[in-house]
Amino acid sequence: MREIIKVSNLTKDYGNNKGIFDVSFSINEGEVVGFLGPNGAGKTTTIRHLLGLIQKYHGSAFIKEYNCFTEQVLVQKYIGYLPGEIKFIEDFDGDSFIRFMAKMKDIKDLSYAYELVKYFELDISKKINKMSKGMKQKLGLIVAFMNKPEILILDEPSSGLDPLMQHKLVDLIIQHKQMKATIFLSSHMFDEVEKTCDRIIMIKEGRIVADSSIKDIKAKMQDIYIIRFSTEEMASRFVNNTGGSIINKATVEYRLSESLNKLIKQLVEFDILEITKKKQTLEELFMQYYGDAYD
């Protein structure tokens, strides 16, 4: 598949171990990639390089065949961008801002922009300086998506959104994924990432520490059984002999790594009050493998 985003040995050293160091990755056409990491890890710095907003760095960043710094104007034609901290012209109302940004992007047809206004239930007659954080986030999303760009770069897109709007955002990302858009999104929301992304890249202290497909991560997911014994003594004996961890007095969490039949045989000698099963979440699995890097 064709590479749409290519970052090679990107380094921007701000001193005191702040910045990004030897960052390299590529994203193929139509791929949706989640960019994860703790606060201050270098996510926004990396994204700002892709927008050509940072000077005096080492390495390179390309979008399509264009250099993100020297050909920034050409790059901007293909990108819908949502910054992590959105700066608005506060005296505009929402509609005026949409029209202003459409003119900047040379967008003639605003029909999709107004579809998104209805989709996000945003009152665009209100002055931006009177809007809540969530309303401003919706406005930023509308501007990023309104020309159905080939490439979307989204820095914490669900920030400030209520759960209903977060769900709508996930659906919107999936719609654009189906349109073959290439999407690079920074997020703290594992549920958002799991539902939309093909791959996860993780950064810590300015360095890439993991790059895995969602498919490979999910293949490692385990079934988890919550077992409630009749006594605390039984729960302790089971954990000592078989494994698992006590989560509440006589209740044990057990991650199934072998056959279910073997677990059933081990439970025969105990008095069991209740067994429930749950699937390991992406966040639980990711923290299991990469928790030390994420902290």
Domain 3-214's class?
Answer: alpha beta
Question: Count of alpha carbons within 13 Å of 141, Cβ hemisphere only?
Answer: 29
Ordered by start, the domain boundaries in the chain are 3-214, 222-279
pLDDT digits (tens, 9 = 90+) for 19-67: 999 999 999 999 999 998 888 889 999 999 999 988 888 999 999 999 9
Distance separating alpha carbons of residues 286 and 280, to the nearest angstrom: 10
Distance separating alpha carbons of residues 47 and 34, to the nearest angstrom: 12
- Predicted local confidence at residue 290, as pLDDT: 62
Q: What is the mean pLDDT of residues 126-154?
A: 96
Task: Please state which architecture CATH assigns to domain 222-279.
Answer: 2-Layer Sandwich (3.30)
pLDDT digits (tens, 9 = 90+) for 230-261: 999 999 999 998 889 999 999 999 988 778 89
Tell me whether domains 3-214 and 222-279 share a fold: no
Beta bridge partners of 28: 3
Residue 142 has pLDDT above 70, yes or no: yes
Task: Give the chain's length.
Answer: 295
- Predicted local confidence at residue 201, as pLDDT: 93
Beta bridge partners of 26: 6
- Predicted local confidence at residue 295, as pLDDT: 53
- Predicted local confidence at residue 284, as pLDDT: 77
Q: How is residue 183 written in tokens? A: 């999407």
Residue 291 has pLDDT above 80, yes or no: no
Q: What is the mean pLDDT of residues 75-83?
A: 93
Distance separating alpha carbons of residues 138 and 140, to the nearest angstrom: 5
- Predicted local confidence at residue 279, as pLDDT: 79
pLDDT digits (tens, 9 = 90+) for 104-118: 999 999 999 999 999
Residue 101 has pLDDT above 60, yes or no: yes
Residue 195 and residue 202 in contact, taking contact as beta carbons nearer than 8 Å: no
Q: What is the mean pLDDT of residues 171-184?
A: 97
Residue 289 has pLDDT above 80, yes or no: no
